[in-house]
Structure 1
């Protein structure tokens, strides 16, 4: 029951694309890298693809297993379960984070009079329902949402009359050093956190060999969206405006004005963001439920969805006392957490797998 769900290669590519975009549709690295943020996105793409190669390599050594099963195979039953719980802490915490982000954004810009706890509960209900229906059903839904996403994303091109190319100058005014931190942070988003996708790659994809190519394509599509939104935010808003705003891309869309007719369409980017963050939240929550069920040797993960959903709502309401704490977590603690779970752990596992194969 835990491993009989299968999705197509195209569906997996859509899921990877949504997972990669996630919250990046509103976050802009220009708050740190200023007018050179687009260079940081390019650097992170190169580094990120190397990490993705590492993740797909370890997964393809065990094509019929997900990441938790691989861990228990490499490290044994008891040590493997302990390491699996450490790995599952990443999607568990990330689900609560995304609930917090969605609630904070909606109460800040769209529904200021609505209690944020109500938004947490409503979002959690939708996520729990999606996970209970299974990966196959959600993947088909994601295909439909992808069409809507692409149509809405094209509306961002109407910002072109507001573009000022002088905003991108001077290039590398302060050298490479200011790009290091935003680049590494983007690598965590693009490459370290997708270790969660190894819970469905390649074991849940009907064509494992073609799925690796789809993994890379999905990552590149997500990075391309991040590059477009980043370069547009720089060309429309000067770096000082970006630095002062929590959601600079949302502020950018407010400036769209075509013939005094098409304007104030910031709800478009809000809809785009809600689509991507919803899909990413579902994938994180699915990985958490499936992994915990396997650690506990349960036959089905669905009975865990409701209690874990309730825990997520409670955790999200306690996670960050204010926006300052949230930004500190995102830039410092969260990055280290992703680096250890999504970088060092797979690298160590690959070393163990190669060593055991040579001994055998």
Structure 2
């Protein structure tokens, strides 16, 4: 592992930027229609339970990452076998998020530019940052987090002054029934809240490990509330009908701002936020994927893997789907069931059971020797 340490505040900032990265621009919980903001709050509770599961597993092996304690729990063969698929999962998510933001920039700002060129520019920045290490990434996060907060507060105030917010668009509550809301909650747990599983690779870098649980809970609460408020604002401004037809609802919401025929065309707010969020989302996914690969294959300097794995991630992001519609459909129909469910729920539960049983055996042996 890299010889570096980050503070609880830096971890808090990284988690929030990561959680909000793509979920701010990609609508979450729309199955519940105008109750989507409520579904996000419910999904946040589910995300907290998953986080406590990951924290409990890691507490049995403090200072180790999953690819290190999997072989200890399941043996060298099966442990490394499942660790390999965990590494593949991380790289797939890195490539998938890269495709998300690359496609967004092509649609929104650079329709004549090939997707490969956009993704290449993203990866150049990400590779450079990952080679600098987690400390550099964390310090950058502290600075850019302030920028994101200022942009968010300014946009919210301008929407209020513009009179765009109409809370009647949030009514009636539970029009589609509680079952529909519960279904939306289940769909929204994996993305974005369950993705916090990647931070099990970063917790060992925390200089105060005893604060990891508190920081994770607070960060999930803040990010969940921000996502819920953002969705409520989008629904209030656009209404569900228009929001469901928009590729990027937050952009459509910001474009409604027009004050005194002077303050308008604030697409730059959206663009800056997207670039910051995309940068951290891709960087963290790619960083933990490189770290996991280095740990699995016993590479002393993980930085040696950054360039070759960066090229693999770049080409995977372009070839992951033939078009944007197929990419979105894959993310909605295939990824949650066949990737998120096993790696965010099933494997962590199996690891916890294995850790508990192994710990009991150790305690019995200790009592027997006494």
Shorter-chain TM-score above 0.5 = yes
Is it true that 1:117 corresponds to 2:116 in the alignment? yes
Alignment match, 1:65:
64
Structure 2: distance between partners of 1:270 and 1:71: 40
Alignment match, 1:235:
236
Is it true that 1:27 corresponds to 2:26 in the alignment? yes
Alignment match, 1:7:
6
CA RMSD of aligned residues (A): 1.3
Alignment match, 1:162:
164
Decide whether the 8 Å contact of 1:191 with 1:342 is kept in 2.
no
Where in structure 2 are the equivalents of 1:35-184 lying within 5 Å? 35-157=34-156, 158-160=158-160, 161-184=163-186
Decide whether the 8 Å contact of 2:71 with 2:79 is kept in 1.
yes
Alignment match, 1:249:
250
SS in 2 for 1:257: coil
Structure 1: distance between partners of 2:73 and 2:331: 31
Structure 1 consecutive aligned stretches of length 4 or more whose deviation exceeds 6 Å: none
Structure 1: distance between partners of 2:334 and 2:184: 14
SS in 1 for 2:3: coil
Gaps of 5+ in 1: none
For residues 318 and 277 of structure 1, do their structure 2 counterparts lie closer, same or farther at Cα, with a shift above 3 Å needed?
Answer: same
CA deviations on 1:118-153 (whole Å, 9 max, x unpaired) are 111110010000110011111111111111111111
Deviation at 1:318, TM superposition (A): 0.7
The TM-score normalised by the length of structure 2 is 0.94
Decide whether the 8 Å contact of 2:41 with 2:225 is kept in 1.
no
Is it true that 1:285 corresponds to 2:299 in the alignment? no
Decide whether the 8 Å contact of 1:99 with 1:120 is kept in 2.
yes
CA deviations on 1:10-36 (whole Å, 9 max, x unpaired) are 111111111111211112236422111
Equivalent of 1:346 in 342, 345, 348 = 348
Deviation at 1:177, TM superposition (A): 2.3
Alignment match, 2:193:
191
Range that drifts further, 228-237 or 80-89: 80-89
The alignment of Structure 1 onto Structure 2 pairs a total of residues equal to: 358
Structure 1: distance between partners of 2:184 and 2:122: 29
Structure 2: distance between partners of 1:276 and 1:138: 13
SS in 1 for 2:334: helix
Structure 1: distance between partners of 2:228 and 2:60: 32
Decide whether the 8 Å contact of 1:41 with 1:186 is kept in 2.
yes
Structure 1: distance between partners of 2:13 and 2:48: 17
Decide whether the 8 Å contact of 1:71 with 1:80 is kept in 2.
yes
Structure 1: distance between partners of 2:15 and 2:29: 24
Structure 2: distance between partners of 1:165 and 1:288: 42
Is it true that 1:332 corresponds to 2:315 in the alignment? no
Range that drifts further, 170-179 or 228-237: 170-179
Range that drifts further, 183-192 or 265-274: 183-192
Structure 1: distance between partners of 2:237 and 2:269: 17
Is it true that 1:313 corresponds to 2:314 in the alignment? yes
CA deviations on 1:289-342 (whole Å, 9 max, x unpaired) are 111111111101111110111111111111121232122222221112112101
SS in 1 for 2:191: helix
Deviation at 1:192, TM superposition (A): 2.1
